[in-house]
Structure 1
Amino acid sequence: MIEENLLLDHGARKIPFSKGDQLFREGESALNFYQVASGEVKMNNYNEDGKEFIQGIFSAGESFGEPPLLANVKYPANAEAINDAEVFQLSKEQFLELLTSNPQVHLKITETLAKRLFYKAIMASEISSQEPEHRILRILDYLKNHVHKTEGKFSFRVDLTRQQLADLTGLRVETVIRATKSLEKKGELEIRKRKLYR
């Protein structure tokens, strides 16, 4: 999203994280802007029973955690490296200076936040009321059309595990497995070498 050189020019540090490392925890103060350089990071919560709910997965070039940073509130979720990753970290003061001096970057950040609000609105209504198959198709279609911008039937390869899909939709992994098999029979998905295609 923000060019690496621009981040570095404004004082960003590129920090390595190993799989499972926490970048920040729910309830901590938001002090930095983060953008993935390589690898993947997820933002998640756990309910009282210890079930994980993934708020989002972010890969190279994507930023995360901006709303609490800009709103001066604490993080509503954890950030954790899904695999070995490198992440740019820029202090809030330096980030705000970058935005002020680069209006086009500011606009990009605003557009990204608007898209995330759109996603959250869709998922909130889906998770509260819809059947598992519908929830799965909705998240896959969002990823296909709005994130990866892929066209054509079965052209989008889903690089999420069944567990990650469960955590993104608030379902149990067993339910995801059953629902995806049912969706394949209905011609909504294809399963090739254990990978889903939409």
Structure 2
Amino acid sequence: MREIDALEFWQAQGSAYFCELSTFGALPETVVLELLQAGRVLALDAGEHLYEVGERSDAFYIVLTGQMKSYMPRSDGGWTLARCHDPGDDMGFVPMIALLARPAFAVAVEDAVVLEITSGHFLDLQQQKPDAFGLMLLNLVRGTARAFINMASTLAEQDYELHHSYQKRH
């Protein structure tokens, strides 16, 4: 994992690219650029871990390019895919807000670039640009809501398959 220059990345992608990312939806370009420059833009190689289970959640991340996946530990020592993160998705926002240690590890599925936003930077946005903060918070909550709905749908499907399989046996 290495930090890359935010302005160079901004210029390489073009400002319109960032407006299409769900977490930045409806934010002014100037605010998005300020977020990139205030945070850390990190490049990860495929297979590289961004964070590990149990680490402090004092920041969250926005996937800018590539794909990331989060895996949670199981009681048998294995790992379960918790979520796939595509460009525009957040990672680690919920545990940061909940003041909990990271419950999962995040790994790059392919080469990826993410933006790290610390809780301090997030607070600065709230204090200095409350309208932009409100929009970003709405976008983050919307993404969280979609993830919850996807998880509930997955659980419902697994429950159906479990009961359907059980009924065939008995």
Q: TM-score range by the shorter chain?
A: 0.5 to 0.7
Which blocks of at least 5 consecutive residues in structure 2 are unaligned? 1-22, 165-170
Query: Is 1:59 aligned to 2:90, yes or no?
Result: no
Structure with bigger helix share is 2
Q: RMSD value over aligned CA atoms?
A: 2.3
Aligned to 2:153: 122
Aligned to 1:113: 144
Tell me the matched-pair count: 132
Spell out, residue by residue over 1:57-80, the C-alpha distance to the aligned partner (whole angstroms, 9 max, x if none): 111121111110101001111111
Change (3 A) 1:99 1:124: farther
Match of 1:43 among 67, 70, 73: 70
Change (3 A) 1:95 1:84: same
Match of 1:82 among 101, 109, 134: 109
Spell out, residue by residue over 1:81-114, the C-alpha distance to the aligned partner (whole angstroms, 9 max, x if none): 1111111111111123325522222211122212
User: How far apart in 2 are the matches of 1:85 and 1:5?
Assistant: 23
TM-score normalised by length of structure 2: 0.68
User: How far apart in 2 are the matches of 1:73 and 1:35?
Assistant: 19
TM-score normalised by length of structure 1: 0.59
Change (3 A) 1:7 1:31: farther
Deviation at 1:5, TM superposition (A): 5.1
User: How far apart in 2 are the matches of 1:29 and 1:105?
Assistant: 22
Match of 2:95 among 68, 73, 78: 68
Spell out, residue by residue over 1:3-48, the C-alpha distance to the aligned partner (whole angstroms, 9 max, x if none): 6753441412211111111111111110112011111100012436
Aligned to 2:44: 17
Secondary structure of the corresponding residue to residue 131 of structure 1: helix
Aligned to 1:150: none
Paired residues for 1:1-198 under 5 Å:
1-2=23-24, 6-10=31-35, 11-47=38-74, 51-99=78-126, 101=130, 102=132, 103-127=134-158, 129-131=159-161
Q: Kindly indicate whether the alpha-carbon contact (under 8 Å) linking 1:36 and 1:86 is maintained by their aligned counterparts in 2.
A: yes
Q: RCO greater where, 1 or 2, for CA within 8 Å and sep 6 or more?
A: 2
Secondary structure of the corresponding residue to residue 43 of structure 1: strand
User: How far apart in 1 are the matches of 2:30 and 2:85?
Assistant: 20
Aligned to 2:15: none
Q: Kindly indicate whether the alpha-carbon contact (under 8 Å) linking 1:33 and 1:95 is maintained by their aligned counterparts in 2.
A: no
